[in-house]
Amino acid sequence: MAALAIPAFIALLFKLVLLAYAVYSPRRDPTTRLFITLLALFAAQNVVEFIGFNHFADHGLDRTMERYGYAYFAVAIPFIALTLHLALRLSIDDWGRARAVVPLIYLPVPILEYFLLGTDKLVAGFQRFDYTMLRVPGSLYSLFEIYVLVCVLAALVYMIYGARPSRPSAINRLRNRIWLVGLLPFVVLHLYLIIANHFGLAKISSTISVPIVLTFFLIVTTYATHQHRLFDIEFFIPWSKVRERKTAFYRRIQSAVAEIADLPSVQEILNYLARALRCQVALIGGPRPMVAAAEAGMSSPATLSDFPRDALKSVDQILVASEIGDRMPELHALMKIHKVGAIVPFNSHSATSAHWMLLGEHFNNEVYTPLDFRMVESLFDKLAERFTDNLLLLRSQLSEANEDLHDYKRRLAMAWEELGALRKQLAIVDEENRELRSEKAALLRRQFQIVKDGLPQPILSGEKSLEEYLTATEAAIVTEALRCCADDHRKAARLLGISPDTLRYIISRHHLGPHESR
C-alpha cells in the first residue's frame, strides 16, 4: 500500500463501518435512505482514491490514472446534489411543499456528467502536483465550481434555517445543529480549495485534508441522522439558555421524584407530573381515565383520554411518537391523531392492574436528549413503585375482604341450616298445636251439648229472630259453665276463653244469678 493511499484507506474503513451502522440501524425513513446512498457514494469515492493512488505510486500519472481522476469527479457531482437534498429534507418541516424543488437539485447532474465524461470541457486532464496530482480545468470548469458553491452554500443556509430557535420540533432543530457542526468544516475546506486553486494559491493538498474532513462530516451526520435521542450541543456551553432551561427541568424532575411518595392521591400525582413535564398527562387503565393539564390555560387533554385501549394492550415499553414512525406506523398515526407524545406502561402484562400513562405532544419538546430520558425514566420508575405499592395495598385489602366474605358466607350457611332446623321444629309445634286445638274443640263439644242437632223449632216456625236465639243460647252456655265451675267466675271465664270482666258483663246482661246457676 502506497503511503499516499493511507488517508483514503483509513477514510474507507470509517465509511464502511458507518455504512454498516446505517444499514442495520433500526430507524428507517426517507432521510436515512438518502443518507445511506450518500455513504455509498463516499465509499465509492474512497475506493477510487485508494486504487488510484496505489496505481499512481507504481506507474505515475498515466492514462489509467486519469480515468481514476475522472471517476473521482463523476462520483463527486451527484454527491454534492445529494448533500443539498439531505439538507433540504432535514430543514423543512412541510416536506409536501418542498418536494417540487428536488428535481431542480438533480437537474445539473446529468449535464455536468456529460461535460465531464463525454468532453474535455469540464476537466481537460490531470497534472502532477508535488506528491499527488491536480486536475487541469477545462473551458467550462467554472460551471462545476459554481454548481459546488451554490449547492454547499444553499445546504448551509438550509441547515441554519432548520436550526433556528423558533422551530417547533426540538429534536429536528437539534439534528440540524449537529449537521451544521459536521457540514461547516466541509463547506469551508471546499470553498478554500475552489478559491485557492482558481487563483493558484493552494497550500493544502486535498489528498489528505478532504478525507479527514469528509470522515468527520460523516461521523457527525451519521449520528445525527440515525439516532432518535441526541446530545444537545448548547447544553455543554456555560451560561447558554438551553443549559439554564435544562437545569431547571432536571430540578423539577428531581423534586418530583422526591415528593411523589408523599402525595395522597393519583390525581395529585398526575397534576404534579403535568407541571413538572410541562405537558398534558392522562392515566388509562382503571374504570375511567384520569387526566391532568400542565397549566390552566393549556388546551384540555381530553384527546389523550380518548386513546383506544385496544391499541395500548400491545405497549410494554416506553414509546415516543418521534421514534416509532417507521417501526409502528399504525400506532404512530393514532398518537398523532390523539396528540400523544409518549406512552409509558405500568404493569402492562397484568390483566387486572395494567395502566398506561399518556403524555402530550409537548413532552417531545422537553425530553429529547439521552440525559433527559434518563431523568424522566427515573421518575417513571418512582411512579411504578408508587403504583405498585398502592396496588399491593389494594390487593391486601381485597384479600382481607375476600376472607371476610368467605367467613360471612360460612356464617350465613350455618345460620341458614339453623333456620331450616327451626322451621322444621316450628312445623312440628304447629302440627302439635293444631292437634291440641282439635282435641280441645272436641272436649268443648262433648261438654256443651246445649244445642241439639238440627235447627231449633223457634227458628223453623219464625217465632224468634236469630239475635234472640243467639242471646238465649249464650245465656244457656254461660249458665252451664257457671254450674260446672261451681259459680267460680275465674274458672268459668277460663273455660269459656274470655276474661272475667267479660263474663261478669254477660251475667249482668242476662240477669243470671247464683240460683240460676245452681
Predicted confidence (pLDDT) at residue 45 exceeds the cutoff of 80: yes
- Our CA angle for 505, 506, 508, nearest 5°, is 65
Whole-number CA gyration radius for the chain: 52
The CATH code that applies to domain 243-393 is 3.30.450.40
Confidence of residue 518 (pLDDT cuts 50, 70, 90): very low
Helices (H), 100-140: 102-106, 108-117
Name the residue with higher pLDDT: 3 or 12.
12
Q: What does the alpha-carbon distance between residue 236 and residue 375 come to, in Å, rounded to a whole number?
A: 17
Confidence of residue 195 (pLDDT cuts 50, 70, 90): confident
The second-level CATH assignment, the architecture, of 3-227 is: Up-down Bundle (1.20)
Q: What does the alpha-carbon distance between residue 304 and residue 104 come to, in Å, rounded to a whole number?
A: 42
What is the rounded average pLDDT of the residues 244-256? 89
Name the residue with higher pLDDT: 446 or 291.
291
Question: Would you kindly state where each structural domain of the chain is located, as residue ranges?
Answer: 3-227, 243-393, 457-517
Q: What does the alpha-carbon distance between residue 465 and residue 473 come to, in Å, rounded to a whole number?
A: 12
What is the rounded average pLDDT of the residues 392-400? 54
Predicted confidence (pLDDT) at residue 114 exceeds the cutoff of 90: yes
Alpha-carbon separation of residue 15 from 219, 222, 240, 248, 409 (angstroms)? 8, 10, 34, 39, 75
For residue 406, count other CB atoms closer than 10 A to its CB: 10
pLDDT of residue 206: 61
State pLDDT tens for residues 293-339.
776 445 555 678 888 888 888 888 888 888 888 788 888 889 888 88
- With a pLDDT cut of 90, the percent of the chain lying above it is 7
CB 346 within 8 A of CB 355: yes
Average pLDDT over the chain, rounded to an integer: 81
What is the rounded average pLDDT of the residues 214-229? 87
What is the rounded average pLDDT of the residues 330-357? 83
pLDDT of residue 27: 81
Q: Could you please state the CATH topology (level 3) that the domain comprising 457-517 is classified under.
A: Arc Repressor Mutant, subunit A (1.10.10)
Q: What does the alpha-carbon distance between residue 495 and residue 497 come to, in Å, rounded to a whole number?
A: 6
Q: Which residues contact 121 (CB under 8 A, 6 or more apart)?
A: 115, 138, 139, 140, 141
β-pair partners for 319: 343
DSSP 8-state secondary structure symbol assigned to residue 61: S
Q: Which residues contact 90 (CB under 8 A, 6 or more apart)?
A: 31, 158, 159, 162, 172, 175, 176, 179
Give the 3-state DSSP-derived string for 453-475, with helices as H, strands as E and coil as C: CCCCHHHHHCCCCHHHHHHHHHH
The torsion angles phi and psi of 282, rounded to 5 degrees, stand at -135, 140
pLDDT of residue 300: 55
- With a pLDDT cut of 70, the percent of the chain lying above it is 86
What is the rounded average pLDDT of the residues 64-83? 88
What is the rounded average pLDDT of the residues 410-419? 88
State pLDDT tens for residues 164-190.
888 888 888 889 999 999 888 888 887
pLDDT of residue 391: 53
pLDDT of residue 404: 79
Predicted confidence (pLDDT) at residue 92 exceeds the cutoff of 50: yes
Q: The cell 465509511 sits on which residue? A: 15
What is the rounded average pLDDT of the residues 483-508? 84
Predicted confidence (pLDDT) at residue 447 exceeds the cutoff of 70: no
Q: What does the alpha-carbon distance between residue 280 and residue 350 come to, in Å, rounded to a whole number?
A: 25
